[in-house]
Amino acid sequence: MRNTKARRDILGILEEYDYPLNAEQIYEKLNEDYDKSTIYRNLKNYESNGDIKSIVFSDKIKYFFKGKGHFHFIYCTECKKFERFDLCYSEQMSKYIKERLGFKVLTHTLYFEGICKECQKITEDGQYGHLNQ
């Protein structure tokens, strides 16, 4: 069934890449020529089923990702690239959540927004002038 195949393909892409992708990027990476509306609709379904998670950064684009466990991402607002890193949140934060908020944490996802090394270099040539302030 086509729906099953779409599901396998789309979730497969997200699994393969291991970092968040937006609908447009998923569309480009799919070998099969799916309708964009099919992709959007499917992503929406997977998200409400809890198969995938999503994030929206200040550029208002929604990014989807898949996987179990905890995630730590940093996002470059200039070139729109993600990096995943392994360092977890601090003992201090963990203690705060446990003692002050009284929560037992099951999972977490950390996102940072910033400007990557390469894009900071571009800054020196004045291309992203606002960074020089």
- 9, 47, 51, 78: residue in contact with Zn ion (rule CB under 5 A): 78
Q: How far is the CB of 117 from Zn ion (least distance, A)?
A: 8
Q: What is the total residue count of the chain? A: 133
- Please report whether residue 105 would count as binding Zn ion according to CB under 5 A: no
- Do 27 and 34 touch, CB atoms closer than 8 A? yes
- Looking at beta carbons, which pairs linking 82-90 to residues 24 or more positions away fall under 8 Å? 82/19, 82/20, 83/19, 83/116, 84/18, 84/19
- 79, 85, 96, 124: residue in contact with Zn ion (rule CB under 5 A): 79
- 10, 21, 43, 116: residue in contact with Zn ion (rule CB under 5 A): 116
Q: Footprint of Zn ion on this chain (CB under 5 A)?
A: 70, 76, 78-79, 88, 116, 119
